Amino acid sequence: MSELITARLASYFPGRWDRHYVPAKLRSDPLYGAVYDELRTSDLPLLDLGCGLGLLALYLRESGLHFPIHGLDYDQRKIDGARCAVTQGAYKGLRFDHHDARLGLPEHFGNVTILDILQFFDPAEQETLLKLAAERVAPGGKLVIRSGLRDQSWRFKITVAGDVLAKVTNWMKAGPGHYPTAEDFQRILSSFGKVRITPLWGGTPFNNHLVVLER
Ligand SMILES: C[S@@+](CC[C@H](N)C(=O)[O-])C[C@H]1O[C@@H](n2cnc3c(N)ncnc32)[C@H](O)[C@@H]1O
């Protein structure tokens, strides 16, 4: 994504912090490009759980994908920021609502994304969320997850430290709780379809992986 577009996206957000964060995040994180690659041939609606500022939705729109996107997050400040960006950019088919994903999920039939939020859930909550999300994936659709994986690597230790820092600086409302293992994803999701797990840390020191369930 060009510097011109990231600068324009940043200008849509009301807060000074977000206007610095948005271009830096879009520039440095391989996440949004990787999700684009997974969804670019689909026209199914997308449910984005823990959408934050709605960066995935904005990235996909700016990259030419036009399916409807519904983002949910329990941080009202971020939902307000995402809604402001939609108004400023006059985007169509993007909706953002305040919702705690621990309280269940709305009806949906399409693709689902869960990006960098599972660490805030305990093991039972993770399993419930993953199953609810998988049930909402249409045949031919995908559940695309990014998560730090719990393992013995130095990357895993840095991942935990980064999430603790996000809590201490109040960027996140909650500190990290539990990180799933690769085996957890296989155990919970493989009855729904094919599960694929690949590293997705790009230039970062984090132990991030992309987990894709194809129904
Ligand atoms: C690290 S951010 C990722 C934001 C976004 N998915 C992205 O990748 O750009 C994690 C997000 O999950 C949200 N979150 C954490 N627990 C949640 C819950 N129980 N329900 C809804 N959102 C939650 C946080 O408010 C935060 O916006």
Q: Ligand 1 centre and the CA of 66: distance in Å?
A: 23
State the number of CA atoms in the 13 A half-sphere of 125 facing the CB.
14
Give me the amino acid identity at 106.
Answer: P
pTM: 0.94
Task: Give the CA radius of gyration of the chain.
Answer: 16
Give me the amino acid identity at 139.
Answer: P
Best residue among 21, 49, 120 to mutate for probing ligand 1's pocket (most ligand atoms within 8 Å of CB) is: 120
Quick check: is 120 in a domain? Answer: yes
Quick check: is 41 in a domain? Answer: yes
Quick check: is 13 in a domain? Answer: no
Quick check: is 177 in a domain? Answer: yes
Encode burial over 108-133: b for 16+ CB neighbours within 10 A, e otherwise.
bebbbbbbbbbbbbeeeebbbbbeeb
Retrieve residue 196's tokens: 């694929």
Quick check: is 144 in a domain? Answer: yes
Quick check: is 156 in a domain? Answer: yes
Count CB neighbours of 7 within 10 A: 13
CA angle at residue 72 from 66 to 73, to 5 degrees? Answer: 135
Residue 83 domain boundaries: 29-214
What domain count does the chain have? Answer: 1
Instruction: State the alpha helices, DSSP H only, in 3-114.
Output: 3-11, 16-28, 31-39, 55-62, 76-89
Best residue among 70, 74, 83 to mutate for probing ligand 1's pocket (most ligand atoms within 8 Å of CB) is: 74
Quick check: is 18 in a domain? Answer: no
Give me the amino acid identity at 101.
Answer: A
Quick check: is 196 in a domain? Answer: yes
Query: Which residues does a 6 A CB cutoff place in the pocket of ligand 1?
Result: 31, 50-52, 55-56, 72-75, 78, 100-102, 115-117, 120, 173
The tens-digit pLDDT sequence of the chain (215 residues) is 899 999 999 999 998 999 999 999 999 899 999 999 999 999 999 999 999 999 999 999 999 999 999 999 999 999 999 999 999 999 999 999 999 999 999 999 999 999 999 999 999 999 999 999 999 999 999 999 999 999 999 999 998 888 888 877 877 676 667 899 999 999 999 999 999 999 998 888 999 999 999 99
Give the domain CATH number at 150.
Answer: 3.40.50.150
